[in-house]
Structure 1
Amino acid sequence: MKNTFKALKITFFSLLFLTSLVGCEKDFSIIESDVLGEGNANFLTSTDSIPVIAYNKKLNALQVNNLESNLLGVFKDPEYGTTTASIVTQLEPVLEDVDFGLNPVVEQVVINIPYFSTPIGIDDNGNTTYQLDSVYGNTTKPIKLSIYRSNYFLNDTDASGQEITTQNFYSNASSTTNSVFNGRTTINFDDHILEEILSENTFTPSSAATVVITNEGADNETRTYSEPAFRKELDNEFWQNTIVAKSGELELSNENQFKNYFRGLYFKAEPIDDTNDGSMFLVNLESTNATITITYANGEDNARVDNTYTLRFTGNKLNTFINDFETTLVDGDNVNGDTNLYLKGMEGSMAVVDLFGTEDLDGNSIPDNLDTLLKTYRKTDENGDFIKDEDNNYVLKRLINEAHLEIYENDSKVINTLNDNGDEYHKYDRIYAYDIKNNIPTIDYLVDPTESNNALNSKIISLGQRNITSNQEVNYKVRLTEHLNNIIQNDSTNYNIGLVISNNVNYTNNSEILNSSDNITSVPSASIITPRGTILYGSNNTLEENKRLKLKIFFTEIKVN
């Protein structure tokens, strides 16, 4: 009887079987005998630990427009230092070519931008209470926040080349200014300020529900409660002169004319003192509740009618970053691997994992262990050639039940402090892995059915959560079972794995790197809207064996009698 493993089918169904067992377990379960194991007289299970090469990649000039959400504020990372994030955004009118009527006068202007929050209970008055989900840093430390009218036009298209393409904007975090690259020049948004619209010298985000009062003080006063938001009243005169006074004119006639006339807002965050400390938070500019609402009255003196004119943040928008780092980030050693791996969000750093050896940028050969792996897991004939069965499948002598990268946090460098809520500072860190060659998630991520709207508990089979072991060590596991099976069984390409830090593993979009000089052309956008950072042990052989990043394979093979 021929012993041929059709392992892809087995591992896929065993993966589904695994999900019914692990549920929401914090760490991976190792399948050593679920399918074929020690209880079977013909098979046995064992483990391989394979060294890999893991090294750092410093990230510069990352695409910062078209992000899912935007960071605003000041964040002082205990390992890396301070980053300041500001926002530039266009506005778009909900209605075009509006006639503001007879004698229109602005009565109130309110800007409202929701934070990301979760309902957590009901207060004594029956109103919902909330927790802010994406606030980072010292949440009790205020920042200075200014809003300006910007005179820089955020183009949709780039017509500078032979073909018209989408215009992207790229970070310039090594600068001391709120600036970006557009691929040709540097734009400093401080050079494009027209007027100041709002100034808050000591601002901190609040988790309190947003309260809107109608007919205040009257018998029919009502109060409406909604999600926490950045909500402020703006100066009536500015909007009267800038918007309402343009009634019936070309500037408000359509979206394009409006964008050219009112080019956008610049939200500028700054630390308030030389400690460079503060809070940073995600804002949801894509929300339908992210608006500037102009309330105005028009009509005859004895028949005034209230109306509203609404602007939304649905046009182009981007982040700017300024890094003031205490840790120097550099490209790593892609031959010997690095001792420490620096994962830092925004314009920071990522890690590259070379599983079996590739060629470096200069074409010098790096030792390739892939052939050894294939000969270990595939059957060969007397000439050393791989054997296939009648269905053209490789005949395997080992079946991979589980494969994952085992990664340890450098506990001597990572500061495990508590944040203002009493939670461990790094508690919500996740490591997101992706296929560098194709800029897509790994196949293990794609077949992972453990999806959740709560990103901390999503994709926990393919991307392990931060785990504290019984020895008080901290590790992560990144599953590559299907990735290896595809290589062994289907001759799929062995691509490098990119590792970034993320607080939202559900967000799989990519951001381009401007003028990349190697094969890393994009990074996951989720790492750009994550201010956090961590430091991991790398793969350099100067490290203790039990600390090194490695590939662990749990396999089943035929017993040799």
Structure 2
Amino acid sequence: MKKTIKALKPSFVFLLIIVSFIACDRDFNAIDSDVLGKGNSNFSTGIDTISISAYNRKLSSLQVNNLAGNLLGIYNDPDYGLTTASIITQVIPTTFSPDFGVNPVIDEVVLSIPYYSRAIDVDENGNTTYALDSIYGNPDAEIKLTVYQNNFFLRDFDPNTTNNSAQNYYTNTDSNENSAISGSNTINFDEHIGEKILEHVFKPSADAIVTTTGTGDDETEARSVPALRVVIENNDFWKTAILDKQDDPELSNSNNFKNYFRGLYFKVEEAVANDGNMFLVNLATSNANIIIHYTSGEIDDRTESTYTLTFSGNRLNTFINDYNKVTFPTTPNKDLGDETLYLKGADGSMAVVDLFGKDDVGLEAFLRAYRQTDDSGDYITDNTSGNFILKKLINEAHLEIYEDDGMLTNPVAENGDSYHKYDRIYAYDIDNNASTFDYQIDQTDNTQNAVISKTVSLSFRDSISPTAGKYKIRITEHLNNILLRDSTNTKIGLVLSTNVNLTNNAEILNSPDEVTGIPAAAIITPRGTILHGSNSSNEDKKLRLKVFFTEPN
């Protein structure tokens, strides 16, 4: 397809560029005037559709400590099956060497874990109405949460290293138990439980938390963001574990305390078979805590006080996956690519995109098509910049990806929206475990709402027929770096993410191939989708690379 265009007026070029940004969720055909050169007034545009290889990579042994958030609950994915997420976390006092006073008595112990929420309205009395974010699954389903004292010590440092590297913990989902891998050891946390502290059946609520203090005319009311807030009916445990340790070395510093009180195990189970909901929590915030309310002093002079424990120490997730609705390919086709691609979070699966094949024949053909050569067939470089001179300029290049609606249970109602409406596909450089250069220069980042962040490099999921379920992953600068600067042709990983702003990677333990890390954002979403692969039998929707170019006549 070629279209010849005569010289354009500058105002029209500017308008065309603006329109191309507005229409960033449609096919790009932007014209970059810098490519034309001073003497070129006639040029043509075209599109190259390039076949590539994209294949599945099943994930396991993923690093699950030091994540940006933690999943808690049960999620029944309609296309994959059931995932159960539990949490093991240390607890740390906010103050050490406390003085609890004379005859301290615990009044109540309160566990608070805020949900991710946002204010959507404020009434005339100043009361805020909230909506919950990062809730997955059936919002009306309950889950059973049991909290135990954890007796397994979560180390800060790996004793098998010489440079005091942090101790990492990895998923062990094939075991069908709440366990993790640490080095060569497997830890089943059910074998390290202490006293049961709490048993609670609940479902997340968007209601603000209302607390009252005082009585009668002195009563005051305070409202705070929605949270899992539970009064722990086990005062004797906390008196023995905390208050009775006053003046003992266990409460004198953080290291002593972590060795003495090794943390809590938040174990999740089904309240109803094959149903539940899951939510993302930020245990690192100071608002996530356990507050011990107590009174102390002489009989006629009692004082109310609090002692606070936070979850600011080591934390990790465990996942139990029952993927009974899908069978992952055991032998990916790395030459032609797979027919179907499976993207699933929480220790699920990803896709690997090899743009030009392992033997570099495709890469050489691409270079020959876009670089200028001399009479000997050698590539010509610019004497000033050292860059290669191009005969065709890439205006836009993206991976065109479609959901496989024949494989998906779609649509499924979730929270009133189409099930896949807010899915985002995150692309990263596998060789360097880093975001793509197109992502890095994308100025459309939105730190407040990841759903509408990085929409040029990662785009939205198209929801308009006939291209509903279409994604575009922009790799313009990735290809330009290869053409102009001879950058390495790195493979690209595709994962499903609900927060494309999170770019740090999690390590894969003893990886057998080039995929040594995965974006941590893909671990803290339980969601999944199924895509047409590069070897799909559907020619209209198979995964391809589209390159929009300008070529002087």
Same fold by TM-score greater than 0.5? yes
Structure 2 residue matching 1:304: 3-state secondary structure: strand
Quote the Cα distance in structure 2 between the aligned partners of 1:19 and 1:349.
38
Structure 2 residue matching 1:219: 3-state secondary structure: helix
* Distance verdict in 2 for CA 1:225–1:141, change over 3 Å: same
Query: For 1:436, which of 430, 433, 440 is the aligned residue?
Result: 430
* Distance verdict in 2 for CA 1:222–1:18, change over 3 Å: farther
Quote the Cα distance in structure 2 between the aligned partners of 1:460 and 1:47.
22
Moved more, 244-253 or 381-390: 381-390
Quote the Cα distance in structure 2 between the aligned partners of 1:321 and 1:470.
36
Q: Cα deviations across residues 356-392 of structure 1 (Å, max 9, x unaligned)? A: 112xxxxxxx463111111111111111101123223
| Identity across matched positions, percent | 53
Query: Which residue is equivalent to 2:56?
Result: 56
Structure 1 residue matching 2:465: 3-state secondary structure: coil
* Distance verdict in 2 for CA 1:180–1:450, change over 3 Å: same
Query: Which residue is equivalent to 1:278?
Result: 276
Query: For 2:370, which of 367, 377, 386 is the aligned residue?
Result: 377
Q: Cα deviations across residues 245-274 of structure 1 (Å, max 9, x unaligned)? A: 111111111111111111001001111243
Quote the Cα distance in structure 2 between the aligned partners of 1:383 and 1:135.
62
Matches within 5 A, 1:326-341: 326=324, 327-329=326-328, 330-341=330-341
* Distance verdict in 2 for CA 1:386–1:34, change over 3 Å: closer
Query: Which residue is equivalent to 1:255?
Result: 254
One-letter amino acid of the counterpart of residue 195, structure 2? E
Structure 1 residue matching 2:521: 3-state secondary structure: helix
Quote the Cα distance in structure 2 between the aligned partners of 1:18 and 1:293.
57
Instruction: Compute the displacement of 1:417 (Å).
Output: 2.7
Query: For 1:456, which of 446, 451, 455 is the aligned residue?
Result: 451
Moved more, 417-426 or 281-290: 417-426
Q: Is the 8 A contact 2:137 2:276 kept in 1?
A: yes
Instruction: Compute the displacement of 1:237 (Å).
Output: 1.8
Query: Which residue is equivalent to 1:487?
Result: 482
Moved more, 484-493 or 296-305: 296-305
Query: Which residue is equivalent to 1:287?
Result: 285
Structure 1 residue matching 2:55: 3-state secondary structure: strand
* Distance verdict in 2 for CA 1:292–1:498, change over 3 Å: same
Instruction: Compute the displacement of 1:472 (Å).
Output: 5.1
Quote the Cα distance in structure 1 between the aligned partners of 2:414 and 2:464.
25
Structure 2 residue matching 1:100: 3-state secondary structure: coil
Query: Which residue is equivalent to 2:382?
Result: 389
* Distance verdict in 2 for CA 1:149–1:434, change over 3 Å: same
Quote the Cα distance in structure 2 between the aligned partners of 1:401 and 1:268.
52
Structure 1 residue matching 2:367: 3-state secondary structure: helix
Q: Is the 8 A contact 1:72 1:86 kept in 2?
A: yes
Structure 2 residue matching 1:545: 3-state secondary structure: coil
One-letter amino acid of the counterpart of residue 280, structure 1? M
Instruction: Compute the displacement of 1:278 (Å).
Output: 0.6
Query: Which residue is equivalent to 1:211?
Result: 210
Query: Which residue is equivalent to 1:399?
Result: 393
Instruction: Compute the displacement of 1:473 (Å).
Output: 3.5
Quote the Cα distance in structure 2 between the aligned partners of 1:472 and 1:51.
20
Query: Which residue is equivalent to 1:5?
Result: none
One-letter amino acid of the counterpart of residue 546, structure 1? D
Instruction: Compute the displacement of 1:355 (Å).
Output: 0.3
* Distance verdict in 2 for CA 1:195–1:47, change over 3 Å: same
* Distance verdict in 2 for CA 1:18–1:295, change over 3 Å: farther
Query: Which residue is equivalent to 1:4?
Result: none
Query: Which residue is equivalent to 1:533?
Result: 528
Query: Which residue is equivalent to 1:412?
Result: 406
Q: Structure 2: any 5+ residue segments left out of the alignment?
A: 1-12
Quote the Cα distance in structure 1 between the aligned partners of 2:205 and 2:368.
60
* Distance verdict in 2 for CA 1:128–1:186, change over 3 Å: same
One-letter amino acid of the counterpart of residue 54, structure 1? A
One-letter amino acid of the counterpart of residue 91, structure 1? V
Structure 1 residue matching 2:540: 3-state secondary structure: helix
Query: Which residue is equivalent to 1:512?
Result: 507
One-letter amino acid of the counterpart of residue 101, structure 2? G
Query: For 1:303, which of 301, 304, 309 is the aligned residue?
Result: 301
Q: Is the 8 A contact 2:421 2:463 kept in 1?
A: no
Report the TM-score when normalising by structure 1. Answer: 0.92
Structure 2 residue matching 1:213: 3-state secondary structure: strand
Query: For 1:467, which of 444, 462, 469 is the aligned residue?
Result: 462
Instruction: Compute the displacement of 1:406 (Å).
Output: 0.3
Instruction: Compute the displacement of 1:26 (Å).
Output: 6.8
Instruction: Compute the displacement of 1:428 (Å).
Output: 1.1
One-letter amino acid of the counterpart of residue 404, structure 2? N
Q: Is the 8 A contact 2:17 2:31 kept in 1?
A: no
Quote the Cα distance in structure 1 between the aligned partners of 2:381 and 2:495.
38
Say what the alpha-carbon RMSD is for the aligned residues.
Answer: 1.9
One-letter amino acid of the counterpart of residue 403, structure 1? A
Aligned residues: 532
Instruction: Compute the displacement of 1:164 (Å).
Output: 3.6
* Distance verdict in 2 for CA 1:333–1:556, change over 3 Å: same
Structure 1 residue matching 2:212: 3-state secondary structure: strand
Quote the Cα distance in structure 2 between the aligned partners of 1:255 and 1:19.
56
Instruction: Compute the displacement of 1:20 (Å).
Output: 8.5
Query: Which residue is equivalent to 1:244?
Result: 243
Report the TM-score when normalising by structure 2. Answer: 0.93
Q: Is the 8 A contact 1:98 1:248 kept in 2?
A: yes
Q: Is the 8 A contact 1:32 1:556 kept in 2?
A: no
Query: Which residue is equivalent to 2:491?
Result: 496
Q: State yes or no: 1:424 paired with 2:418.
A: yes
Query: Which residue is equivalent to 1:88?
Result: 88
Instruction: Compute the displacement of 1:146 (Å).
Output: 0.6
Q: Cα deviations across residues 95-116 of structure 1 (Å, max 9, x unaligned)? A: 0111212111111211111100
Q: Structure 1: any 5+ residue segments left out of the alignment?
A: 1-13, 359-365
Q: Is the 8 A contact 1:378 1:396 kept in 2?
A: yes
Instruction: Compute the displacement of 1:28 (Å).
Output: 4.4
